[in-house]
Amino acid sequence: MANKILFLRISYWAGAALDVVAFMIMSFPPLFALNNGMANFHPGLEYHYAMGMGAPLMLAWTVLLLWADRKPLERRGILPITLLVVLGEVATEIYGVSTGFINVSAMLLTWVIQLLMGGLFIFSYWNASK
């Protein structure tokens, strides 16, 4: 039982930590540029509007994961839902690379982290459900 809860808590806290980082990157364009290897990035109104819509959702997801940690077994269903968010981010990132907006080399570390987090979420949910 303790092993199940430990992996759930690691998943919740790791996800929350990454979501806070994503919130910061979305909220501050210089951090976005730095994270994505964009030396000459000058975002327009569309960027600010879109990120203004998405950043609060990322912050709210951080809170949701910390809320799930309060009752880790009962709220383990948050993990597969969170995986849908990660998959949506990956799809958007692939679009960004395919359009030339972001260089694929800038995304490699992000994709590795997302793959590892996805694996952790799947394992933690499966482990807690058996």
Check whether 25 has a pLDDT greater than 90: yes
Which among 20, 7, 22, 17 has a CA at the least distance from the CA of 76?
7
Q: 96: which 2 tokens?
A: 């960004």
Kindly write down the DSSP assignment for every residue of 6-29, as one continuous string: HHHHHHHHHHHHHHHHHHHHHH-H
Question: Which positions ≥6 away from 87 have C-beta within 8 Å?
Answer: 118
> How would residue 1 be classed by pLDDT, with cut points 50, 70 and 90?
confident
Q: In which region does residue 43 sit, left (phi positive, over 0), alpha (psi from -120 to 50) or beta (all else)?
A: beta
For the segment 42-90, what is each residue's pLDDT rounded down to a tens digit? 999 999 999 999 999 999 999 999 999 999 999 999 999 999 999 999 9
What's the pLDDT score for residue 23? Answer: 98
> How would residue 2 be classed by pLDDT, with cut points 50, 70 and 90?
confident
What's the pLDDT score for residue 130? Answer: 85
Q: What pTM, to 2 d.p., does this model score?
A: 0.93
Q: How buried is 86 (Cβ within 10 angstroms: 0-12 exposed, 13-18 middle, 19+ buried)?
A: middle
> How would residue 41 be classed by pLDDT, with cut points 50, 70 and 90?
very high
Domain boundaries defined on the chain:
2-129
Check whether 20 has a pLDDT greater than 90: yes
For the segment 77-101, what is each residue's pLDDT rounded down to a tens digit? 999 999 999 999 999 999 999 999 9
